[in-house]
């Protein structure tokens, strides 16, 4: 019976290590998706004359739900203030507070009256996003394998100690 408990504890440790590494990977994927969306927004703001809801949906590409939700809110109630439209957006859980603030500031900038102001907001967010992605990628490269290895090693140690 002790070996079964040891095996379960080992499996739990290995799973937690894998989960921690997966969280880092999902964070990198989310930041990549946002950077792609910002790049698409910049291109659309420069070259295409389209409404903000269409721009948000195209920029999202189905990968960033809060952009699609914001587009729906704009269509359903176009007279609401931008701050109200952005309130309570379901941000991706992998984004830090600073990243959410940068994205929020960029989205507020899209409501600016001139294309130049919109482009400045998008470009500023894009510059910030490159920094966020670099840090996240470094964390993933440095810690992803470490978390998996520690999970397996901790699980093996628990199994040995319990059996």
- Residue 62: Cβ-neighbour burial (10 angstroms; 0-12, 13-18, 19+): exposed
Task: Tell me the whole-structure pTM to 2 decimals.
Answer: 0.75
Mean model confidence pLDDT for the chain:
84
> Is 7 strand, coil or helix?
helix
* Residue 115: per-residue pLDDT: 81
Dihedral of the alpha carbons of 155, 157, 160, 162, in degrees to the nearest 10:
-70
129 or 10, which is more confident?
A: 129
> Is 96 strand, coil or helix?
coil
* Residue 48: per-residue pLDDT: 66
* Residue 159: per-residue pLDDT: 67
Above 80 in pLDDT, residue 79? yes
pLDDT-derived band at 142, boundaries 50, 70, 90:
confident
* Residue 145: per-residue pLDDT: 72
């Amino acid at each position: 019976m002790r070996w079964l408990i040891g095996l379960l504890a080992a499996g739990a440790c290995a799973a937690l290590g894998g989960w921690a590494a997966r969280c880092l990977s999902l964070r990198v994927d989310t930041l990549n998706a946002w950077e792609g969306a910002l790049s698409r927004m910049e291109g659309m703001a420069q070259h295409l004359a389209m409404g903000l809801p269409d721009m948000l949906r195209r920029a999202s590409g189905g990968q960033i739900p809060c952009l699609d939700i914001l587009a729906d809110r704009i269509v359903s109630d176009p007279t609401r203030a931008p701050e109200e439209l952005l309130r309570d957006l379901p941000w991706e859980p992998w984004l830090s507070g600073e990243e959410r603030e940068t994205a929020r500031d960029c989205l507020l900038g899209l409501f600016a009256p001139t294309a130049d102001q919109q482009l400045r907001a998008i470009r500023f967010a894009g510059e910030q996003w490159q920094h966020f992605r670099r840090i996240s990628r470094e964390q993933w490269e440095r810690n992803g394998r470490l978390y998996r290895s520690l999970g397996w090693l901790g699980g093996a140690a628990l199994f040995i100690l319990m059996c």
